[in-house]
Amino acid sequence: MSINVGDTVPAGKFKYVQWAPELEDKLACGIPTELTTDAFKGKKVVIVSVPGAFTPTCHVNHLPPYLAKYEEFKAKGVDHIYVLAANDPFVMSGWAIAQGLKDKITAISDTYAKWSESMGLSVDLTEGGMGVRSARYVLILDDLKVVSVEREPGRGLTNTDADTTLSKLN
């Protein structure tokens, strides 16, 4: 299946560790909880998918501008921004702490890239030792409906960067 503008996203389950000040001491791990696509109902959300937490492009170039432009996203009516990867919820939590996301952007785990795969948005990086991952993509959803879907055609950032995503918001 391939997801397209106008489609409703398929149901999905994710794990995440909710940010709390206690996590800042770097020795606390938090407790993973479940989030489902039901959390997107009635909301405008941006889902930034990356192949892996702490990987060079994702860590240095892709996620930081979303945090830096957080207020611009809010001003465009975005209720919440999620960053998604196939990493486990503890790695995603550690990455969120390292990035300083706090309660602004929620780092969610698409375990085994199943949700991404259900939309035709996974990538097999087995040759590079990473297995099947979520591809680099951005979804803009409004009440579970796809307003925009952008997937990178290759390495780097050409159409999933923060500025391009902002330009797609009304």
Active site residues per annotation: 58
- 99 vs 97: CA distance, rounded Å: 5
Q: Detail the DSSP E strand segments found in 1-130.
A: 13-16, 33-36, 44-49, 80-85, 105-109, 122-125
Q: Is the Cβ–Cβ distance between 111 and 87 less than 8 Å? A: no
CA 128, 63, 154, 77 torsion-angle sign: positive
**Alpha-carbon span 135 to 117, nearest angstrom:** 9
Alpha helices in 8-129 (DSSP H): 56, 63-68, 70-75, 89-99, 114-118
Gap between the Cα atoms of 74 and 9, Å rounded: 22
